[in-house]
Chains A and B, each alone.
Chain A
């Protein structure tokens, strides 16, 4: 039997999840105050802190401000977050003074589903009263999505996750597109980038529809289109994502190895 020919990605020495994480981490500039969701956002934000952005301030909704965990937290309230933080405050204070108070530059979120205007669903698949799948719910996301100065979303791209219309809008992206978000009186700029295992989508400046503006090496435009539940517009200035540099990859793998040793599994992918 003949071996299946390798795809380009398989000949590169990093995985799709690794380039997604590294690409997401690069968006976080040094000194940024970032409200971090658990899972992929937390991995990317901590990678940024351990590489190009040592002074990034990581805030978790459980209360730690300026957390510098040595391993990735498995849950949003791991002890390491508290022990390494500049301070730990109560959860009401996190939401009232630090988020609603306007001190967050970037909200870094995951999602179960996004739609073409980067609205987020983490509540239900199917009707709310008779759900096909009951998801965990909103958590901190609705207010993070509206009150952070801007929002990055990181999730894997598939037709089930990238849908034309959501069954439930948990957290507002650009609503119906155009200036709908501003008209609704939502203060922050909303999602400015959606980072996936295939590329980077950014909202069109006018329509706010998510457009493919970046593609990871080894991924084809057809693959990205096939993994999207609407007719994905490809930017005429489509850029190929820079290959993760050896330093970032080594830092990411070290972090995940430390985490696996500490937790008995890779942290925070749940």
Chain B
């Protein structure tokens, strides 16, 4: 049953050192505020899972939260590289990062298998790719009925999944819409879950087939207005493309990255504090 609780408390009680954690979001609804809180609370040794690791994973990797990354596409969408991710893989900074690399189809199926309580996902995939040569978790099995060769990969079963959504009602039922990515599957595949929402309302006013995650299937619901920034929440905010571009320069050097994280994340109390300091520093740049 979802507890409606401040984000700090949800992260403190639900995210532990060494956990497998999925902060999902496909460009839309990325849970940046929750990622910052995990960094502030100094979690270590995490196995981070995400189809499309972007800025928040770049920050978590650069701040030393992650021991391993399971992913299928790591970049700054529309801009270029994730410099902290690349530095970890290419130079082992701040420490070596183990990677387990898939395709999107593989990852999406692995979440579905996790949510379905299956040990592995089955798909037509990876044929002719070198990915199976570097990822021993991509294997091939024979269909018992037709003899066809199919790809098999282990289910993704996070200890905790974290997502951002538009709204929740007072019982913790969560409604999300727009680009949904794998958020529903990622939540249902996980043992525990945290959902940050733009607002808590009396009535979700959702049509019968809307994507609603029932409160009883979630661990915590945390109101964080604008908690996806610089990603967006359809109907509430626009994607801040300017910040995605600015991140390229901030993350390029280790020193500038560390100083930026200190000032904007470690030295702020919460996401509202981060947004205030960021507004100041963006003015300094402009």
Residues of A within 8 A of B (CB): 38, 61-64, 73-79, 81-83, 88-92, 94-96, 99-100, 119, 123, 128-134, 136-143, 146-147, 168-172, 175, 181, 184-187, 263-265, 267-270
A115 to chain B, nearest CB (A): 12
* A140–B85 CB distance below 8 A: no
CA distance A87 to B175 in the complex (A): 17
Q: Which residues of A contact B111 (CB under 8 A)?
A: 92
CA distance A90 to B26 in the complex (A): 10
* A96–B27 CB distance below 8 A: no
* B125–A143 CB distance below 8 A: yes
Q: Which of A129, A139, A268 is close to B103, meaning CB atoms less than 8 Å apart? A: A139
Q: Which of B75, B77, B128, B239 is close to A146, meaning CB atoms less than 8 Å apart? A: B128
Q: Which residues of A contact B26 (CB under 8 A)?
A: 62-63, 76-77, 91
B114 to chain A, nearest CB (A): 11
Specify the chain A residue showing the minimal Cβ separation from B125: A143
Q: Which residues of A contact B184 (CB under 8 A)?
A: 90
Cβ of B90 < 8 Å from any Cβ of A? yes
* A100–B128 CB distance below 8 A: no
Total residues of chain B contacting the partner, CB 8 A: 57
Specify the chain A residue showing the minimal Cβ separation from B30: A77
Residues of B within 8 A of A (CB): 26-28, 51-52, 71-81, 85-86, 89-90, 101-105, 108-109, 111-112, 123-131, 134, 148-149, 178-182, 184-185, 211, 232, 234, 238-239, 241-242, 244-245
* B181–A143 CB distance below 8 A: no
User: Main secondary structure on chain A at its contact with chain B?
Assistant: loop
* A82–B73 CB distance below 8 A: no
* B179–A169 CB distance below 8 A: no
* B101–A138 CB distance below 8 A: yes
CA distance A38 to B52 in the complex (A): 13
Q: Which residues of A contact B28 (CB under 8 A)?
A: 62, 77, 79, 82
Q: Which of B77, B104, B234, B242 is close to A140, meaning CB atoms less than 8 Å apart? A: B104
B19 to chain A, nearest CB (A): 23
Q: Which residues of B contact A78 (CB under 8 A)?
A: 27, 239
Work out how many contacts link A and B, with CB atoms closer than 8 A: 191
9 extra A-B contacts, CB within 8 A, seeds A63-B179, A134-B85, A265-B241: A74-B239, A77-B26, A90-B185, A119-B128, A134-B89, A138-B72, A142-B131, A169-B128, A265-B245
* B130–A91 CB distance below 8 A: no
Q: Which residues of B contact A143 (CB under 8 A)?
A: 103-105, 123-126
Q: Which residues of A contact B90 (CB under 8 A)?
A: 130-134
Task: Known A76-B26, A88-B179, A263-B241; judge A138-B76 contact (CB<8 A).
Answer: no
* B182–A138 CB distance below 8 A: no
* B128–A91 CB distance below 8 A: no
User: What are 30 A-B contacts defined by CB distance under 8 Å?
Assistant: A62-B179, A74-B77, A74-B244, A75-B77, A76-B26, A76-B27, A76-B77, A79-B232, A88-B178, A91-B104, A92-B109, A92-B182, A95-B105, A95-B109, A132-B90, A134-B90, A137-B74, A138-B104, A139-B52, A141-B103, A142-B125, A142-B128, A169-B129, A184-B127, A184-B128, A186-B128, A263-B241, A265-B241, A270-B78, A270-B80
Q: Which residues of A contact B128 (CB under 8 A)?
A: 119, 142, 146, 169, 171-172, 175, 181, 184, 186
* A62–B27 CB distance below 8 A: yes
CA distance A60 to B244 in the complex (A): 21
Q: Which residues of A contact B127 (CB under 8 A)?
A: 142, 146, 172, 184-186
